[in-house]
Amino acid sequence: MPRLPRIHIEGALYFITSRGEINESIFKDEGDYKMFLELMKRYQEQFGVKIFAFCLMPDHFHILVEIEKSIKEDQSSAQKTQEMSDFMQSLNNNYTKYYNGRYNLKGHLFRERYKSAIIQKENNLLKMTAYLHLNPEKLALAEDAKDYPYSSYQLYLYNDPVKQADLQFLRDAVNEALSFLGNQSYGEFVRGLDPEEGASIHKRLNRGGILGSEEFVAMVKSEVEAYQAGGLGQKLEINAKNYYKLFFVLGSVVFVLVATLGGLYFVSLRKKVQTLSKTEAAAKATNHQLDALNSSEWQVKIIGGPQKPEDADILTFINGKFVSARMNSLGYPGSNYSIAVQEDNKVVWETMQSSASGIVSWHGELEQDKMTGVISLRENGKDPQDFSFVSIAHRRKK
């Protein structure tokens, strides 16, 4: 599958593929598959991505997705493109953190950035779900694809509802796809897919990365050419009020990537950058917000379920590392954390900690010196536990 530019086509589907390093598995047991599905659910909801189908195989995965229209009706094409990229980056990066922590590894898990093909939704939605669901059978991972446990095929068949209970977040998308079936069952539709048509889909995806009518293919190619000819600054369609900011913490220095109509800028917030004159005021504001998190210590109240008492913890952010005193005492070491600043200057941070006994993921938001967030604890052999937290005091670390 060729690598098309990251562009958004309204109403189109995206067939996404991501592979592990050569000859390397990305899923080793049921726990790995379950963690990936949990992350997929979390980031689908966060980034407004509709997932129609998925298939997770030992060394790669496929997902059929669409940007959810109802989330933000007034979004520009560039903003929707960015959400798709953010969805996949969050999914792959956080799964890599989990995997490396669980198996005591370092470095990249996936071979390269994900690849995506653009699919005309009309007349192709059901075909693409069938093509995706048949992969385990083609690769001899199952005698019958419907028996493969790590795809959405069973959900389309309405089989084994207890086993598929954790996939109910896909139900609306699945129902939309099934609405195109007519009088036949989904199983009949899949088995009725002509092998030659399946081979044709595979060939077209690998040749051009675009699947649809001649008019649709021509339209996508025209959009791609305009994107490449017009320059990144023009095609991003991000104005001065809605420029995109992404922050990285390396040691004690915060770096910012700013995309505006004037271009892309990558700078350290510790330096005065003349090329950021249009966003200088915004950079100062976000710099203040970021400094409120870096080199800080937060006393938080942890709130559990209805049967669980409130507990306390101390969260520390220093030199690009996050440490939870409570989780550290349970064997979860400090971890790197990521930061993003939203348009309203709210700081959002995330991290994932791994130990031999499980993983814990954190999502926090900082606004006007008040921090709130959620914690998801997944320990081997135990039921999932979810908590919320809120800050009650904080101070600067020297």
Query: Is the same domain home to 222 and 284?
Result: no
Whole-structure pTM value? 0.62
At which residue do the structure tokens 């689908």 appear? 44
Q: Determine the pLDDT at residue 279.
A: 45
**Which CATH number is 340's domain given?**
2.40.128
- Scored b (16 or more CB within 10 A) or e, 202-237 reads eebbeebbbbbeeebbebbeebbeebeeeeeeebbe
Sheet holding 12-19, edge to edge: 49-57, 60-67, 12-19, 115-120, 210-211
Sign of CA dihedral 260, 264, 269, 272: negative
Q: Are 96 and 109 in contact (CB under 8 A)?
A: yes
Query: Is the same domain home to 179 and 213?
Result: yes
pLDDT by residue (tens digit) across 248-295? 444 444 444 444 333 443 333 333 333 334 344 445 545 555 666 878
Q: Determine the pLDDT at residue 39.
A: 92
Query: Is the same domain home to 72 and 219?
Result: yes
Residue 5, domain member (yes or no): no
Residue 264, domain member (yes or no): yes
**Which of the listed residues 187, 213, 235 is the one where a domain comes to its end?**
235
Residue 3, domain member (yes or no): no
CA distance 346 to 359: 26
Query: Is the same domain home to 40 and 152?
Result: yes
Residue 64, domain member (yes or no): yes
Query: Is the same domain home to 128 and 164?
Result: yes
Query: Is the same domain home to 93 and 226?
Result: yes
Q: Determine the pLDDT at residue 213.
A: 86
Q: Determine the pLDDT at residue 238.
A: 30
Q: Determine the pLDDT at residue 242.
A: 34
How far is Cα of residue 336 from the mean position of the Cα atoms in its chain?
A: 18
Query: Is the same domain home to 78 and 192?
Result: yes
pLDDT by residue (tens digit) across 221-256? 887 777 666 544 333 333 323 333 344 444 444 444
CA distance 132 to 81: 23
Q: Determine the pLDDT at residue 123.
A: 86
* DSSP H/E element including 279: none
Query: Is the same domain home to 276 and 397?
Result: yes
Residue range(s) defining the domain that contains residue 340:
238-398
Number of compact structural domains in the chain: 2
Q: Determine the pLDDT at residue 235.
A: 36
Sheet holding 321-324, edge to edge: 263-268, 253-260, 244-250, 338-341, 347-355, 358-367, 370-379, 385-396, 296-303, 311-318, 321-324, 335-336
* Beta carbons within 10 angstroms of residue 32's beta carbon: 20
CA distance 282 to 284: 5
Report the chain's C-alpha Rg in angstroms. Answer: 22
Of 58, 38, 46, 45, which is closest to residue 109 (Cα–Cα)? 58
pLDDT by residue (tens digit) across 165-176? 568 888 889 999
Of 18, 43, 39, 15, which is closest to residue 114 (Cα–Cα)? 18
Of 371, 361, 363, which is closest to residue 300 (Cα–Cα)? 371
Residue 274, domain member (yes or no): yes
Residue 7, domain member (yes or no): no
**Which of the listed residues 193, 214, 235 is the one where a domain comes to its end?**
235
**Which CATH number is 190's domain given?**
3.30.70.1290
What residue ranges of the chain have pLDDT lower than 50?
70-73, 162, 231-282, 285, 306-307
Contacts of 185 (CB under 8 A, 6+ apart): none
Query: Is the same domain home to 161 and 295?
Result: no
End-to-end CA distance of the chain: 51
